[in-house]
Amino acid sequence: MAVLDHRAELNRAGANATGFFGTARFLMRRYPLGAVGAVIVVLFVLTALFAPWLTAYDPTSTNPRASLARPTADHILGADFMGRDMWSRVAYGARISLAVGVGSTFLGCLIGVAVGLTSGYFGGWYDLLIQRLIDIMQALPLLVMALVMAASLGPSLQNTIIAIAIPLVPNVARVIRSNTLSLREMPYVEAARAVGMSELGIAVRHVLPNTLAPLIVLATAQLGAAILTEAALSFLGLGIPEPHPSWGRMLSESAAEYVRTAPWLVIFPGIAISLAVFGTNLLGDALRDYLDPRQRT
Amino acid sequence: MLDDVKPKPGAGAATGSGNVLEVQDLKKHFPIRKGLLRRTVGHVYAVDGVTFSIKAGETLGLVGESGCGKSTVGRVILRLIEPTAGSIKVEGHDITRLSKAEMRPYRRQMQIIFQDPFSSLDPRMTAGNIVGEPLGVHGVGKRRERRDQVAQLFERVGLRRGQMDNYPHQFSGGQRQRIGIARALALNPRLIIGDEPVSALDVSIQAQVINLLMDLQRELGLGYLFISHNLAVVEHISHKIAVMYLGRLVEYADKRTIFTSPKHPYTEALLSAVPVPDPAIKRKKLVVQGDVPSPMRPPPGCHFHTRCPYAVDRCKVEVPALRDLGGGQLVACHLR
């Protein structure tokens, strides 16, 4: 039911492409930066999925003899002071980043959509109350909110996801609410009301599917922010606990002590974080241009 | 011709009057709220006492300029907007104060066709699902039976079965309006309210859609409330015509009577504004000066007195009642 009609979007973007490859070629030429972003994101996801096949070492097994090993053929990105292979840790770290990024974005969108849809559709006092609560939440930066949440929930993968998801809710709720406000006045909503459809049915069948495009755009943009926030939380010791490899904590463990003597311990997780965030942001920008006609020139 | 169309046997109403719709002194005043406490500081008198009825197989054309309340009348009848006062009877049953749940069975009796064929169809649903939606809402038949029914509806309005899985953007404006008509027909209504259903279409397409509507009326004995500002279209499709000005009916009569001997100055002015495609014909022109007064502060007495060339003192104080001038021609004017 709630599917995006790609042909419609393609036509609106001015494409005259047929087939999968024709479409892909059109998109690449039209959104070159978005294509770069898409490639980075695909590589990131593949690394996360196939980490065990891409690495030779267990990311948590220590080896005193390899302590602080330089990048060589054995350890292509070197090893940390406990002798854990950095490439393994970076590759497995992609899993954590992806899990937290996707998990918290999904959870944040789920709650945000429910809040925004009801707020925009039913209005009145409920809307007023929700919007003032959202004002309060939006007054705090994402990281500060996440910090407060993470500190009160305690460090674990699940809690990190929740801690990052909650601060994402206001953004999603705002966008969905404003969309709902305009959609509920559409004649096709009136038509549904005229046949006697329930208000809940209208909200789910007509309003929600039409907010999907902006939601996808928003979710991609939030994904980068979520990954970055996870790294920041872990860097500050409030995110993913040991022994799971998290890019953020890899930085914090090594930054002070080894940045001069073993810079590869800082550089590679840093590059991983930057690339993942950069890729999702590029993809998000291209998706916005593609799916949001108001941005299109 | 069309005037001879008789309602099908059995198409009549519970009351025996044969009226699918009776509207009695209908009013809709929208409150204007201002300030922090949302106090009501005034009203927009969108509909201010409108009375008419529609028989099965009959079309009532409701005409008037923009902002006179025509569309509001249509929406109030469907209870998409709550009426302020008056009564609405569908097939003899009073639906004015029914609750949402009580309204459900009556929703099957009356449907609406919208002006804009683009925004009236959900862009993310297939044409087949759009037409089948009313059936689903009212739980008519099983899924497969519904699909068959939708296919029949498609053929009835001149679309192909194979187009059921297409999305609205793949259709032209006229085809989209046909989808809208199929959706309105899905529940077998007795009354269809057309809110400017052809104003957004090309003239050639307008004729096709109008003819489709007239064919459907002949086959199904539907009653139409046809809201429009286009007198040529209204003349073609209607049996009776009601002329509205600032929330009130000013004239209400048979099509022929209205077009041959309009009695209300406003109707005269409207008719003399219709272009005639023959430069040799010279007509008496009645040009009305000024603008429509604000519906927030309608003038006292006859609403039209501020622009009426014949207005006398009485028009400024006394509201003219809708009187029968004989032959079923009702006119609200002191001078007739």
**Which of A69-83, B18-32, B63-77, B206-220 bottoms out in mean pLDDT, i.e. has the lowest?**
A69-83
pLDDT band at A292 (very low <50, low <70, confident <90, very high): low
pLDDT band at A21 (very low <50, low <70, confident <90, very high): confident
Q: What's the average model confidence in pLDDT over B35-62?
A: 88
Assign A251 to helix, strand or coil.
Answer: helix
B-chain CB neighbours of A195 within 8 Å are: 107, 111, 133-134, 137-138, 186-187
B107 interfacial to chain A (CB closer than 8 Å) = yes
Any idea where the domains of chain A sit in the sequence? 96-297
pLDDT above 70 for A2: no
pLDDT above 90 for B192: yes
**Which of A66-70, A76-80, B280-284 bottoms out in mean pLDDT, i.e. has the lowest?**
B280-284
C-alpha to C-alpha distance for A75 and A65, rounded to whole angstroms: 12
pLDDT tens for each residue of A151-161 = 898 888 889 99
Contact assignment for B123 to A5 by CB distance below 8 Å: yes
Cis amide leading into A243 (omega within 30)? yes
| B323 bridge partner residues | B331
C-alpha to C-alpha distance for A67 and A255, rounded to whole angstroms: 16
pLDDT tens for each residue of A187-215 = 999 999 999 898 889 988 899 888 888 88
Of A192, A196, A206, the CB nearest to B103: A196
- The pLDDT of residue A293: 52
**Which of A89-93, A122-126, B32-36 bottoms out in mean pLDDT, i.e. has the lowest?**
B32-36
Q: What is the CATH number of domain A96-297?
A: 1.10.3720.10
User: Within its chain, how far is the Cα of B210 from the centroid?
Assistant: 14
- pTM to 2 decimal places: 0.79
Contact assignment for B107 to A196 by CB distance below 8 Å: yes
- The pLDDT of residue A6: 62
- The pLDDT of residue B242: 94
pLDDT tens for each residue of A231-273 = 888 888 888 887 788 888 888 887 777 878 888 888 898 999 9
C-alpha to C-alpha distance for A46 and A277, rounded to whole angstroms: 16
Number of neighbours of residue B14 by Cβ within 10 angstroms: 10
pLDDT tens for each residue of B229-238 = 888 889 999 9
B98 interfacial to chain A (CB closer than 8 Å) = no
Structure tokens that stand for A40 in this block: 């980075």
The stretches of chain B forming alpha helices (DSSP H) are: 70-77, 100-107, 127-137, 143-156, 173-185, 203-220, 231-237, 255-260, 265-272, 313-317
Q: What's the average model confidence in pLDDT over B38-55?
A: 88
Assign B86 to helix, strand or coil.
Answer: strand
- The pLDDT of residue A155: 83
Of B103, B116, B133, the CB nearest to A192: B133
The secondary structure element, H or E, covering residue A111 is helix A86-122
C-alpha to C-alpha distance for B5 and A131, rounded to whole angstroms: 57
Distances (CA, A) of A212 to A31, A234, B204, B215, B259: 21, 32, 37, 40, 51
B137 interfacial to chain A (CB closer than 8 Å) = yes
DSSP assignment letter at A72: -
- A264 phi/psi in degrees, rounded to 5: -65, -20
pLDDT tens for each residue of B207-218 = 999 999 999 999
- The pLDDT of residue B189: 93
The stretches of B108-172 forming alpha helices (DSSP H) are: 127-137, 143-156
CA of A290, closest CA in chain B: separation in Å?
Answer: 17
Angle between helices A19-30 and A32-49 (to 10 degrees): 120
* Residue whose token pair is 């909110």: A145
pLDDT band at A287 (very low <50, low <70, confident <90, very high): confident
Q: Is A109 exposed, middle or buried (0-12, 13-18, 19+ CB in 10 A)?
A: buried
- The pLDDT of residue B217: 94
Contact assignment for A193 to B80 by CB distance below 8 Å: yes
- The pLDDT of residue A109: 94
